[in-house]
Amino acid sequence: MALRSTQTGFGPVTKSFHWLMAILFATMFAIGWYMDLLPLGLEKLAWISRHKSIGVTILFLAILRIIWRLAEQTPAGLGEKAWERQAAKLAHFALYAVMLAMPLSGWLMSSAANFSVSVFGLFTLPDLVGPDKVLYEQLRFTHWILSWVIVGLVGLHVAAAFKHHFINRDATLRRMLPGTGKGN
């Protein structure tokens, strides 16, 4: 079984990265909303700790995914117009950027708040900045804005996939689904 993508389809490693990141981003958004609704206490702190740990996991996976993407060929688009190809490239670049920016803004925010980032209780990341209340508030706002940027980009990504599937009736969506062949 080939692990790499081809000109006609995505390989299992690329598909795994895609769907794992999708699941993790959805999970993080849900956790973020839930923990914000909780009153300050042990339960909220436990959810914040989980949120941070998963965020670091996303950062690590995003770096691996970008390395994999740079070393990997991308299947050719299916019947896209030139402007659609450019829009897709821009949207994918933006998605990769927020995969890095979102967890980094959270890590910076925690550092500015003087709260360490423990990763599943296994190790603690070094603080990136010193305690700074003003910087913390700016980073908190940035983190919140980025969450909505992610929602918008993911919504655009899903809409484009559905457009390809239901309007263009091409294999763009099918070739990213788990368990499908590369050329489907």
**Residue 55: CB atoms within 10 Å:** 24
CATH of 12-176, one of 3.90.209.20, 1.25.40.10, 3.40.1530.20, 1.20.950.20: 1.20.950.20
- Hey, which residues does 123 pair with through a beta bridge? 119
pLDDT in tens, 141-153: 999 999 999 999 9
**Residue 18: CB atoms within 10 Å:** 15
The domain locations on the chain are 12-176
Rounded mean pLDDT of the chain? 93
Question: What is d(CA 91, CA 127) in angstroms, rounded to the nearest whole number?
Answer: 31
pLDDT, position 183: 45
In the chain the first and final C-alpha atoms are separated, in Å, by 16
In terms of Cα–Cα distance, which of 93, 95, 128, 99 is closest to 114? 128
pLDDT, position 1: 60
Tell me, rounded to whole angstroms, the distance of Cα 148 from its chain centroid: 12
pLDDT, mean of residues 160-180: 91
DSSP H helices, the chain, are: 12-37, 42-71, 82-112, 133-162
Tell me the pLDDT band of 73, cut-offs 50, 70 and 90.
confident
pLDDT, position 76: 81
